[in-house]
Each structure stands twice: as structure tokens, then as C-alpha cells.
Amino acid sequence: MSPERYNRIREMLRMRQTDLTVLMEEVHKPHNVSAVVRSCDAVGIHEIHAVWDKKTRLRRGTAMGSQNWVKTHSHDTISDAIGHLKGQGMQVLVTHLSDTAVDFRDIDYTKPTAIILGQEKYGATDVAIEQADQDIVIPMVGMVQSLNVSVAAALILYEAQRQRQQANMYDKQNVSEAECQRILFEGGFPKLRKMCDIKGIPYPYIDETGQIAEGDDWWKQLQLTPEKLASIEQGNDES
């Protein structure tokens, strides 16, 4: 991995927000899933959550295969997902028009926050609405009553980013060094990462120059010749 790529990944990890996330509730269209994940990556979200129906569960790898920088946690039910997030001390918001809904810009996103995004056609389920802490809306003054789910996600997330930047929340690293090492290896050495996963070999330590800092024993586990390693490294640089 080049020093430039190493520094770029390190800078990304330094600004990741571990207590800001979204929960997609059966959002099933691949282009919407991918767009939401890209917006999450853009504002520094580290992990997202999802509840999939069976059809979506089978194809979500295709929809999200290019999104390698945001970890996805799948949950069996919306209640399981909300319970998990509340267990982490997060306020849970849901995009839903109701008498008690507030403008999304009136929320304090400097608090640990999870945002539920409902299914494209029907929106959030009754269970999600009942268990969430607050309904939020994006004001609409035109003829349509709702935005595309990925557009709505982007608007809300960038308001969260704005508030967190004003509070200097992007100035302190929240991701653990162990997690940073995992992402550095997976993002910097994708072909070696596949070999480690297949062989069950622990991921190596990545030093401050972006290189693998391990002894001969680790390399012997991969059974790589210098020529093969050079070929793999060249492939990584080109990717």
C-alpha cells in the first residue's frame, strides 16, 4: 500500500462517527441502498444497520458490494434493531409524518443518534414508529409529500454533519486502533485479505508507512514467493 493511500485511509478513520448511524427498514431497491451507504460514508458514519426481507437479503451483496468502507449490521426484526441501538444509548428517530413530528433540523444530532429510514413505498412500519423516540419530517411545500429515501437520508445526514462539525466532533478519533488496523489491511491489501480469510490467518499489523510489519512465520503461512508477493502488490496498487 502506498503512503498516500495509507494516509488517506487514516484520515478517513480519524473522522469516523461511531455514534451516528442509520437503520434501513426493508429498503429494497439496490440503487437506493447503495446511495444511502454512499451518503453515510460521505458524512463519516462508521456502521449502519438494516432489516431486510428475504428477497433483499439474497441480493444485498450485489447492491452494496462497492461500499467497502461502511460496516453493515443485519437484524432479524425491527424490534431487535431498535433494541440494539437503544442499548448503545442512542436516540432513535424515524422519518414519519405525524402530529408529533418535528422538523429534522430541530433535532440535536450531537447526541448519539440513529435514524430509521422506512421502505420506499410504505415508509416505516407501525412497530418502528411506536418504538422510535421521535418522528421527524422534511418540510415540503410542493405537490409531492415525500422525497426519495436516499435523498431524504442525505439531507438529514448532512444536517447531522453540520451540527457535529460545529461541535468539533470530527476532531477526535473514535474508532479503536484494532478496528483501524482491520480496515487498513482490508482496504490496502484486498487480495491478501482474501487469502487470509480463506486460510484463517490473522490479519497483520500495518505500520505507519502502510506496509505489513510481520515476521517470516506470518508470510510462510501464506506460502508466497517473493515473485508472487510482488505480483500481488502490483495488483493492489493498480486497484
Binding site residue list for S-adenosyl-L-methionine: 95, 138, 147
On the 0-12 / 13-18 / 19+ scale of CB atoms within 10 A, 145 is exposed
Contact 203, 177 (CB under 8 A): no
Kindly give the pairing relationship between strand 102-103 and strand 20-25: unpaired
Q: Return the number of other C-beta atoms located less than 10 Å from residue 105's C-beta.
A: 14
H or E segment to which residue 51 belongs: strand 47-51
Question: Which residues on neighbouring strands pair with residue 91, listed in sequence order?
Answer: 113
| Residue at 219: amino acid letter | W
**Binding site members:** 95, 138, 147
Residue with cell 443518534: 113
Q: Are the C-beta atoms of residues 206 and 176 closer than 8 Å to each other?
A: no
- Judge contact between 16 and 44, C-beta under 8 A: yes
